[in-house]
Structure 1
Amino acid sequence: MNQPGQSVTGDPGLQEIDTIAEQLRLNRNDYEPYGRYKAKLVHGLAERLNDRSQAKYIGVTAINPTPLGEGKTVTAIGLAMALSQLGHTTIGTLREPSLAPVFGIKGGGAGGGKCTLEPQADINLHFTGDMHAVTAATNLLASIIDNHLKRKKSPQINPATITWKRVLDLCDRGLAHVITGLDQVPQAPLRETGFELSAASEVMAILALATDLADLRQRLGRIVVGMTYEKQPVTVEMLGCVGAMAALLVDALRPNLVQSCEQTPFLVHTGPFGNIAHGNSSIVADKIAVRLADYVVTESGFGADCGAEKFFDIKCRSSGLKPDAEVLVCTARALKLQSGLFEVHPGKPLPAALLEENLDAIRAGAVNLKAHLDIICQYGLPTVVAINAFPDDSQKELAEIQQIALEQGASAAVVTDAFARGGQGSIALAEAVVKAAGKPNQFQYLYPLEMSIADKIKTIATKIYGAAAVEYDPKAQRQIQEYEQLGYGRLPVCVAKTQYSLSHDPKLLGRPQGFTFPVRDLKLSAGAGFLYALCGEIRTMPGLPSEPAALRIDIDEQGKITGLQ
């Protein structure tokens, strides 16, 4: 089997993509190979499969993580492989990795150990070009806006109201705030703007939430880039470039078919972050997957307070799909961190004391596990706690977490060892998930769309994060009033906040309560179909850590890539 981070060209341990497609009863006209080990599915496949029965739909989320992550992707891959070993046709649907964490804090995003997606190096880097298409479409619109302003075309946009920014899928904090139009002979207006991450952009969110090409084009056309001097929205359709943007994204809307290191099929498609975007893979991929398999395992970004809440309230609301069970990943080290007894800094190794046996810290941090179980309970879903074991974990700690999880209301609590043992290390988890998914559930959304914008934000802040109240900057208050007057008040809300705490403040660990949740900005993502609230000190263009993962990545004489994990 290939080593993590290596190219798999010619690897005898993997199946040709035609064989993976045959496992799913796909014919040769249903997909287009991109080399030997990956393919793109064709447009309209979900509609053609509607006569097939629908799979059990399983979400995977986590507690608040350490900066190094808790193996949520590894757990999702291991669960899918274990379900396959039990004889169930299973597909995993995961997000495409962003180059920002690949070269930043975390490294690769295609699993690890004996739970990897393959071809791993391809998936972590350029893959099939989807991320580049998102970047190109976003930046094309930015250049069209500047040209529109320079030539004083109608409708006239008030430059002070332009919200659209350029994007780049790398951590580059120096581009977060820039001034454009500095040519000696001005070709564009001089104005302040900035860059955001491609994976967290509205175009990426649109790609993830669109159901087909017609829906994609309509959503792109609804994007609001700014206001006229009469305070009326200016959309992409008005600027005339929606067709060009759609043309750049035609192939990017097609899900990517790959496999795990145990040849379990996976659809890897779209890549928003769960803390600064809606944090889930595509609706198109899920709608296809649920017609091709017995079980579909899909992962949300970060914790139940981030990606899972948006999975339920934004993605499921848009797709119409309803989950049958949720898996909540936790680790001993993350629970100990949530005790507040240890100091951890993103970009630096975890302190040695955090990795030592400490049952008191486990019990103190377990309030965070309880909070996440309570979050999922509000949606009416059975929850299986997956305790992702690391090699040096204390068996006493793992047993303590199991007992606590069951006492706190989990349907089951299972120790998994997928990183070291692959699918075999998640058999008990798969059996628990099958049992949980077979039970009736009362899945429901957290809030109705008829609620006011302020009440939606308050509902999320108080019922999910544990806040006592919400405080709005004057700018955010004006935006709420403006968006409701313009008819956007019925949209769901996507909250951008830290992933390290249930609150807006990464220093508030455990289960903070009684705090005031600050909303400093509110943006409109009319094309994606949600309002975007920025809270605390969250950044949409982060910087690199002191020791970026990029410094560990290299190639050998044969061109094999190493260091992506």
Structure 2
Amino acid sequence: MSKSDIEIAREATMKPITEIGDKIGIPADQLMQYGPSKAKISYDFLQSIQDRPNGKLVLVTAISPTPAGEGKTTTTVGLGDGLNRIGKKAMICLREPSLGPCFGVKGGAAGGGYAQVVPMEDINLHFTGDFHAIGAAHNLLSALIDNHIYWGNDLGFDERRVTWRRVLDMNDRALRDIVSSLGGVANGFPRQTGFDITVASEVMAIFCLADGLKDLQERLGAIVVGYTREKKAIYARDLKAEGPMTVLLKDALMPNLVQTLENNPAFIHGGPFANIAHGCNTVSATKAGLKLADYTVTEAGFGADLGAEKFFDIKCRKAGISPDAVVIVATVRALKMHGGVAKDQLGEENVEAVKKGLENLGRHIRNVAKFGVPAVVAVNKFIKDTDAEHRAIQEYVAELGAEAVICEHWAKGSEGTEQLAQKVVALVEGGTADFRTLYDDDTGLLAKIETVAKEIYGADGIAADKKVRDQLAQWEADGFGKLPVCMAKTQYSFSTDPTLRGAPTGHTVPVREVRLSAGAGFIVAICGEIMTMPGLPRVPSANHIKLNEKGQIEGLF
């Protein structure tokens, strides 16, 4: 019987975090240590490396996710280890896991098998407290808004137009829509509001896009929290909220350094979801990685239609960085699901289902090409895969002018990604990357949404009612027209129907609502029935998580 992820992680021989820092040239006195195996990088050190040249940037993305699993984070870790194995100075940059999926359905996000980052339990739970700080800063702003209204409302908030909700880093559907301030005069003025999950917070997005403390504070001040009866915007800076919010985030903004099972360096920092937010780790961690390593391997959430598109159109645009190569992760199991096979039949060879499911992979390959970046496919191998199924993938991908590499990092660590690492190096050194975004800043907001829907999702168009169109037009008039768009959409399909697998065409993307994230610097388009506060499944992962007799955590994965 194979060992579980947590059993493998528990047996890891971790080196002191000072040794990991030394591998990439970070002096011990520039590390803020959180115990022996995790640390934050000081601002002084980050400032001291700004003039160094950048290394190469590799993005790991995936096909549209299925319950069968794809292993994007596992592949990111495996590729980082593989690059180090073949003699390259490489590090990985990942997002921090949210407690919501850990106790919900997805589990943790620290890799798997012999391609993990450790300490796995810490990373998947409270880690260095960054998410708690982000939630506290967000909810401080909420408290300041209600307090301001209670004490006379000098800014003239229209209580029907307070747009700032509260957040919690947990899946809790009961909090999606609530009425607050009940109980009489002493408790304020009742109003309808709600909670989002912390990873959907604009503070999280700002945290991940900010380039230093000064930029962080300016962005926090630019958050639009509500409107007056004359529909004039009210900003967080009007409440003098940006100062104390920055104080709460000052330590959190320093990147977190940990290690892989093979004792290679990893930054894990920030963690917006890609279905309801922009899905990328922090700019500060990615930029630090580029200064410290020859190869920085990072990931973007969910499939390439969401995470990769937002990485390119939001993160790269805002941070002034560009990728040199892309790895698209797929599995035989997931392709068979896209080909119509039920989850309980995935262990049986079915080449025809793989071929049918390859439509999904094909669209992701073609979509990535639209951004001018060369791509390789990483087939994350499972034990029941067959050679015939692997050949079908490799032949199909070759027809599209790319290459599919079979990877065994889950079982073998870096030994299982040597070939992938060599292929990535060849792509990068080939120098064919000519990065471009999907749309220009000057394209209208509605046209930007339409462009993503048509070019990336394969839709015929979008459906947006007059209220949505008028709101976008008003934001353009208010000077927000140059902002990119962040599409909030189900991760399970190119369409907004999560049951529509493969590569559907002819569908329409309904834009139900749009939200202004002025501090983060993008417009959120909420498409279909997407929830910014998820619920727990009938049998949540939390039911299986406990401490054993030795005081060790069990059930976390």
TM-score, normalised relative to structure 2: 0.97
Q: How many residues align?
A: 555
Find the counterpart in structure 1 of residue 229 from structure 2: 229
Q: Secondary structure at the match of 1:311?
A: helix
Quick check: 1:181–1:190 contact (8 Å CA) kept in 2? yes
Partner of 1:563: 555
Structure 1 position 554, deviation (Å): 1.2
Alpha-carbon separation, structure 1, partners of 2:236 and 2:474: 19
Contact 2:371 2:436 in 1 (8 A): yes
Q: Is the Cα contact below 8 Å between 1:40 and 1:256 reproduced in 2?
A: yes
2:382 paired residue number: 390
Shift of 1:409: 2.6
- Does 1:497 pair with 2:489? yes
Partners of 2:488 and 2:553 in 1: how far apart? 34
Residue identity opposite 2:502 in structure 1? G
CA distance in 2, matches of 1:3, 1:69: 16
Q: Which residue of 1 aligns with 2:105?
A: 105
List per-residue Cα deviations over 1:262-321 (Å, max 9, x = no partner).
Answer: 101000000000111000000000111111111100000001100100000100111111
2:480 counterpart of 1:481: no
What aligned pairs does 1:202-217 form with structure 2 within 5 A after superposition? 202-217=202-217
Residue 4 of structure 1 and its aligned partner are, at CA, apart by 3.1
C-alpha separation between the residues in 2 aligned to 1:337 and 1:376?
Answer: 22
State the AA in 1 paired with 2:223: I
Other structure's SS at 1:97 match: coil
State the match for 1:4 in structure 2.
5
Question: In structure 1, what residue type is equivalent to 2:393?
Answer: I
Q: Which amino acid aligns with 1:323?
A: P
Q: Distance in 2 between matches of 1:482 and 1:559?
A: 57
Change (3 A) 1:69 1:44: farther
Q: Which residue of 1 aligns with 2:446?
A: 454
Equivalent position SS for 2:329: strand
Identify which range, 93-102 or 544-553, moves more after superposition. Answer: 544-553
Task: Kindly indicate whether residue 91 of structure 2 is the aligned counterpart of residue 91 of structure 1.
Answer: yes
Equivalent position SS for 2:43: coil
> Equivalents in 2 of 1:519, 1:354: separation in Å?
35
2:283 paired residue number: 283
Q: Counterpart in 1 of 2:420?
A: 429
Counterparts of 1:296-335 in structure 2 under 5 Å?
296-335=296-335
Match of residue 38 from structure 2:
38
CA contact under 8 A between 1:46 and 1:291: conserved in structure 2? no
2: CA distance between counterparts of 1:115 and 1:319? 29
The offset of 1:12, in angstroms, is: 6.8
Alpha carbons 1:45, 1:288 under 8 Å: kept: no
Determine helix, strand or coil for the equivalent of 2:267: strand
How much does 1:473 deviate?
Answer: 2.6
Please name the residue that 1:367 is paired with.
359
Structure-2 change in CA distance of 1:250 and 1:306 (3 Å): same
Distance 1:523 1:174 in 2: 22
Contact 2:165/2:195 (8 A) holds in 1:
yes
Q: 1:68 to 1:47 in 2, by over 3 A?
A: farther
Q: Following TM superposition, by how much is the alpha carbon of 1:116 offset from its aligned partner in structure 2, in angstroms?
A: 1.0
Cα deviation for residue 149 of structure 1 reads 1.5
**What is the distance in 2 between the residues matched to 1:265 and 1:51?**
21
Give the letter aligned to residue 482 of structure 1. Q
Which position in structure 1 is the counterpart of 2:533? 541
Specify every segment of 5 or more residues in structure 1 that has no aligned partner in the other structure, as ranges.
Answer: 344-350
Distance 1:352 1:85, change over 3 A: same
Q: What pairs up with 1:93-172 in 2 under 5 angstroms?
A: 93-172=93-172
The equivalent of 1:444 in structure 2 is 436
- Amino acid in structure 1 at the alignment position of 2:69: G
Q: In percent, how many aligned pairs have the same letter?
A: 46
Give 1:413's aligned residue: 404
For the 8 Å contact 2:68–2:334, the answer to whether it is kept is: no
What is the rounded CA distance, in whole Å, between the counterparts of 1:7 and 1:501 in structure 2? 33
Question: Who is 1:347 aligned against?
Answer: none
Residue 507 of structure 1: CA displacement?
2.1
Question: Equivalent residue for 1:346?
Answer: none
Q: Please, what is the CA RMSD of the aligned residues?
A: 1.6
Q: Is residue 507 of structure 2 the alignment partner of residue 507 of structure 1?
A: no
C-alpha distance in 2, partners of 1:50/1:218? 21
Name the SS for the 2:160 alignment partner: helix
Q: TM-score, normalised by structure 1?
A: 0.96
Partner of 1:67: 67
Letter in 2 for 1:507: T
Deviation at 1:44, TM superposition (A): 4.7
Contact 1:69–1:106 (CA under 8 A) maintained in structure 2: no
- Aligned amino acid, residue 481 of structure 2: G
Q: Give the gaps of 5 or more residues in structure 2.
A: none
Aligned to 2:338: 338
Deviation at 1:185, TM superposition (A): 4.2
- What do the CA deviations read for 1:473-530 (whole angstroms, capped 9, x no partner)? 3331221122112111110000000100111111222111121111010000001010
Q: Deviations over 1:316-348 (max 9, x none)?
A: 111111100000001111111112x235xxxxx
Do 2:65 and 2:491's aligned partners in 1 also have CA atoms closer than 8 Å?
yes
Q: State how far apart, in whole Å, the 1-side matches of 2:499 and 2:252 are.
A: 38
* Distance in 2 between residues matched to 1:379 and 1:241, nearest whole Å: 38
Contact residue 18 and residue 31 of structure 2 kept, 8 A? no
